[in-house]
Amino acid sequence: MKLRMTQVTALVLKAIAAGHRHGFDIMERCGLPSGTVYPALRRLERAGLLRSAWEDEDDAHAAGRPARRTYELTVRGEQALPDAEGKLEEVRRLLRTLPEAPGAEA
């Protein structure tokens, strides 16, 4: 399934690449609400850019919490990283070219 790269999917991919592996951690890193991040995770997984697995039960148990779902990049996900970086660069460029909000200069 082909995936259209958006700012959200790009941010989520980058966050995972940076080592954030659980849903809520990714949310926090991206500064996006769960209602945005989770559907993005589902889409990325369906497109084959991510795969998910369950933490080791014993490890989690030792830490006194239930096993969490972990997300990691697939090879295709790694390959998509430049694409994501491009998308984000586009956003940065856009932000730079935007004029300052009126009144901000004064």
* DSSP-H helix ranges across 18-74: 23-30, 34-46, 57-62
- As given in the structure block, the two tokens for residue 44 are 């990325």
Choice between 17 and 67, CB closer to another protein: 67
CA-based nearest residue to 68, from 25, 31, 32: 25
Q: Does residue 43 belong to the site contacting another protein (CB under 8 A)?
A: yes
Q: Does residue 61 belong to the site contacting another protein (CB under 8 A)?
A: no
Q: Does residue 69 belong to the site contacting another protein (CB under 8 A)?
A: yes
Chain residues in the site for another protein (CB under 8 A): 22-24, 33-39, 42-43, 54, 60, 65-69
